[in-house]
């Protein structure tokens, strides 16, 4: 049966969100004002939040379950990059009057699916009506051993620079959605759009990098720009070998058709891969842990003394990167 109007606020929470709190005693089935959460002995909570706005981070006709999964996944990606294991999350949902029960139901099913996949529970939130576009924010909490959170600040000259997965899939997926990737075949288009709509947070490797990575962050606003953040906070420079940047087959084909696409690859956003540095003597450990986590990792360059990010082409010449990454302002 179609369900045009969402139920009232409390019924909505009871029907769609309370089931997602089952299994987490401190959430009190979302029947209290607040939740309680204690880290395991000797651990600290790592807390991160990300907001998504219709028309900015997703499109009005995107499937609600995928919007839900992406909003949870971008937070899981931050936790993984910090070396944290996921524990719980809060959901703030600002719905326009046009939101239907069917939309919310599908959204909640998306959350349920990824909660199970990544071992995290909904423990609270807020629900309100907005005169603007649909807006949601997730605040996720994970845990690490005391003092062990992987920071942006620990990169040292001589460290290797590593990245998980492949870079540029989402940027080209967005280009497909904007009809701006001519020449890509249907299979490539599908792959790239899926990578844009549903990133893969590297939860399986994140906590293994504690004690191995000297610095790390998740790549969400473009590889070059985000690497620049590690460099400035760590007060070092970085050299990236363009030829080492890991590309999926569809992205490789797009770059072969149009070499200028490489700038979208290293400057586009939404990768949600982990960029991290590690001393060279831990290279074999990085590869072992990556194999244990079943996550691809690739060494793409090095940390050097100085400042700023240089990207070198196959001839060792520095490439001029016009657009380093995404900025809201």
- Pick from 118, 94, 103, 209: nearest CA to 163: 209
Per CB under 6 A, which region of 27-35, 80-88, 107-115, 218-226 contacts ligand ADP? 27-35
3-state secondary structure of 240: strand
125 touches ligand ADP by CB under 6 A: yes
321 touches ligand ADP by CB under 6 A: no
Q: Least distance to ligand ADP from the beta carbon of 127, Å?
A: 4
Rounded distance between C-alpha atoms, residue 231 and residue 135, angstroms: 32
Looking only at the bridges linking them, the beta strands covering 308-312 and 237-241 are: parallel
Spell out the SS3 assignment of 309-329: EEEECCCCCEECCCCCCCCCC
**Residue 75, C-beta contacts closer than 8 angstroms, at least 6 positions apart:** 48, 49, 50, 89, 138, 139, 140
Closer to ligand ADP by CB, 17 or 24: give it: 17
Q: Least distance to ligand ADP from the beta carbon of 12, Å?
A: 8
Token pair of 124 as six digits: 């609270």
- Convert residues 76-115 into a mask of x (bound to ligand ADP by CB under 6 A) and - (unbound): ---------------x-x----------------------
Token pair of 170 as six digits: 């989402």
| 91: partner contacted, choices Mg ion, ligand ADP, none (Cβ within 5-8 A by kind) | ligand ADP
Out of 126, 258, 288, 313, point to the residue binding ligand ADP (CB under 6 A): 126
Closer to Mg ion by CB, 11 or 126: give it: 126
Closer to ligand ADP by CB, 124 or 301: give it: 124
Query: Under a CB-based contact definition with an 8 Å cutoff, are residues 134 and 54 in contact?
Result: yes
Helices H / strands E in the chain, number of each: 10, 11
- Burial group, residue 109, by CB count within 10 angstroms (0-12, 13-18, 19+): middle
322 touches ligand ADP by CB under 6 A: no
Number of chain positions touching ligand ADP (CB under 6 A): 12
Token pair of 134 as six digits: 């649909």
Out of 1, 2, 4, 33, point to the residue binding ligand ADP (CB under 6 A): 33
Closer to ligand ADP by CB, 93 or 275: give it: 93
Out of 3, 11, 126, 256, point to the residue binding Mg ion (CB under 5 A): 126
Point out which residues bind ligand ADP (CB under 6 A).
13, 17, 30, 32-33, 91, 93, 122, 124-127
Point out which residues bind Mg ion (CB under 5 A).
126
């Amino acid at each position: 049966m179609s369900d045009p109007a969402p139920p009232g606020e409390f019924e909505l929470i009871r029907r769609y969100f309370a089931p997602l709190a089952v299994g987490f005693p401190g959430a009190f089935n979302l029947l209290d004002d607040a939740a309680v959460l204690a880290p395991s002995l000797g651990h600290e909570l790592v807390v991160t939040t990300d907001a998504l706005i219709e028309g900015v981070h997703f499109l009005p006709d995107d499937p609600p379950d995928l919007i839900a999964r992406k909003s949870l996944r971008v937070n899981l990606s931050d936790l993984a990059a910090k070396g944290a294991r996921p524990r719980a999350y809060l959901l703030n949902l600002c719905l326009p009057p046009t939101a239907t029960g069917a939309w919310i139901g599908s959204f909640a099913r998306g959350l349920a699916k990824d909660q199970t996949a990544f071992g995290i529970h909904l423990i609270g939130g807020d629900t309100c009506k907005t005169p603007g576009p649909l807006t949601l924010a997730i605040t996720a909490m994970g845990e690490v051993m005391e003092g062990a959170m992987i920071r942006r600040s620990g990169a040292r000259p001589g460290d290797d620079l590593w990245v998980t997965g492949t870079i540029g899939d989402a940027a080209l997926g967005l280009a497909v959605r904007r009809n701006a990737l001519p020449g890509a075949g249907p299979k490539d288009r599908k792959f790239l759009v899926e990578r844009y709509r549903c990133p893969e947070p590297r939860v399986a490797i994140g906590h293994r990098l504690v004690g191995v990575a000297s610095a790390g962050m998740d790549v969400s606003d473009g590889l070059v720009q985000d690497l620049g953040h590690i460099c400035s906070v760590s007060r070092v420079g970085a050299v990236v070998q363009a030829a080492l940047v890991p590309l999926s087959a569809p992205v490789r084909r797009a770059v072969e058709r149009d070499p200028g696409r490489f700038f979208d690859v290293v400057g586009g956003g939404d990768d949600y891969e982990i960029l991290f540095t590690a001393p060279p003597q831990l290279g074999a450990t990085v590869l072992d842990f990556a194999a244990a986590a079943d996550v691809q990792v690739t060494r793409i360059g090095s940390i050097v003394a100085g400042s700023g990010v240089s990207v070198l082409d196959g001839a060792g010449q520095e490439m001029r990167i016009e657009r380093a990454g995404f900025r809201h302002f």
